[in-house]
Homo-oligomer: A and B are copies of this chain.
Amino acid sequence: MTNDVKTDSSVADMMDAIGRSARLAAVSNARSTTADRNRALGLMAAAIRGDADNILAANTIDVDDGKRRELSAPMLDRLMLDTGRIEAMAAGIEAIANLPEPVGRVMAEWERPNGMVIQRVSVPLGVIGIIYESRPNVTADAAALCLKSGNAAILRGGSESFRSSGAIYECIRVGLSAAGMDENAVQMIPTSDRAAVGYMLSSMAEWIDVVVPRGGKGLIKRVQEDARVPVIGHLDGICHVYLHAAADPDMAREIAVNAKMRRTGICGAAETLLVDQAIANTILPDVAQALLAAGCEIRGDEAVQALLAAAQPADDSDWSTEYLDAIISVRIVADIDAAIRHIGDYGSGHTECIVTGDDAAAAQFLGDVDSAIVLHNVSTQFADGGEFGMGAEIGIATGRVHARGPVGAEQLTSYKYVVRGSGQVRD
């Protein structure tokens, strides 16, 4: 059995204790007040700011270790913290505190002919397991989003960022404790033993309501194979920018360069540029020049190679590759239908952009491209819960069940039906 992980009983005991206390904390958090939870979030942000030096020191050790272990440049970029990123983390928690209360919202209300009044009311999901890799700020974002939405969180960070995440986690517990909340509302698995992840996925359905994995293909594949609890799925971000025949040349260049090069290590970075053949001669050379000037490698199909001396050859695997690096694959397509077909065949359902001045073409693209986020004249780098105004995100879901796109506090809720009557019985 894939899930028959050899787990020594001490790991099982430890994980069961974490699960049991998380369940109790979830019940108590679900009954806490908005004011309590927001005060805890404010105190967490303050603790992170106050403890920035410790967090940076821990991060330096992680980064040095990562360099010794020859982590890739994008991975080191995700791992690395500086004062700006720490301030962003604290500000993100405060932004989450300032979001509307996600729990107890009356999402719908109607009355039946027999006089029953039915409400659909948002409630917390319960206990959320988050399994992530190198990005230490996930520790803060995930904890804050889970707390805001009345849930308990069990965090399992990657070994690469173990010390950084641990330092951030200490600040979270300080905030919970100072606010008088149950500290077990956020717990971090205190070992990098892989058996703990196996046990979490296969044997904790009683304690964990949903697992959110954040990381590379290996992690996602393992979670999908082993999980006996619901998963909010995150796959690759093979994001496309399509320059339509009616694209404005300057906008095309600026969006293409920003979507690819602003930050290459994030899942919303563009990986493939599709160029309508009607504008390949006029617009592509300028766009390519700007990409090259920004330090980007171009891999093109034969038509692209014929136009651009600097283009390396792309083979079929390039269309399915998430480089997460300063590389872009470029393909010339016959028309918008071919662009939509290419995205359907090779995309990962994450984020795709059309650049065009033609509203009918935009409407077709936005309607027919079946991805979590579809954009018209906007850089794919905006595929982010913070940029969407959600305060922060626990990740971008590419699955279709429960949540799709940025997963923020609102997406970490379930709901129940509340029905009020006056003695109705059914015929």
Contact = CB atoms under 8 A, between A and B. Distances in A.
Interface of A: 1-3, 27, 30-31, 110, 112, 116, 118, 120, 123, 125-126, 205, 209-210, 224-225, 228, 230-233, 248, 251, 254-255, 258-259, 262, 362, 366, 368, 370-379, 381-382, 387-389, 399-402, 404-406, 414-426
Nearest to A377: B421
Contacts of A224: 205, 228
A422 B375 CA distance: 10
Contact of A424 (B377, B389, B404, B423): B377
Nearest to A355: B423
Contacts of A258: 425-426
A425 B262 contact: yes
B373 A416 contact: yes
A209 B400 contact: yes
Given A224-B228, A387-B426, A425-B255, A419 B376 contact: yes
Q: Chain A's interface: helix, strand, loop or mixed, by majority?
A: mixed
Contacts of A3: 2
27 contacts: A1-B1, A2-B3, A112-B387, A116-B378, A116-B382, A224-B228, A225-B228, A230-B230, A251-B423, A362-B420, A366-B420, A371-B416, A373-B416, A374-B416, A374-B417, A375-B420, A376-B421, A377-B424, A378-B420, A379-B424, A379-B425, A387-B426, A400-B414, A401-B401, A401-B402, A401-B414, A404-B417
A100 B123 CA distance: 25
B417 A405 contact: yes
A370 B415 CA distance: 10
A401 B368 contact: no
Given A116-B382, A118-B388, A375-B421, 15 more contacts: A31-B368, A224-B228, A230-B399, A258-B425, A372-B417, A375-B419, A376-B419, A377-B422, A377-B424, A378-B419, A378-B423, A382-B426, A401-B402, A401-B414, A406-B417
A408 to B, nearest CB: 12
B424 A210 contact: no
Contacts of A120: 405
A401 B211 CA distance: 11
Given A230-B230, A389-B110, A389-B112, A262 B426 contact: yes
Contacts of A419: 373-376, 378, 382
A422 B228 CA distance: 44
Contacts of A377: 420-424
Contacts of A27: 370
A424 B210 CA distance: 35
Contacts of A376: 418-421
Contacts of A112: 387-389
A377 B405 CA distance: 40
A327 B85 CA distance: 62
A226 to B, nearest CB: 10
A231 B228 contact: no
A125 B404 CA distance: 11
Contacts of A123: 370
Contacts of A31: 368
Contact of A379 (B126, B210, B426): B426
A402 B405 contact: no
Contacts of A362: 420
Contacts of A232: 401
A31 B364 CA distance: 11
A405 B401 contact: no
A425 B382 CA distance: 8
A418 B404 CA distance: 12
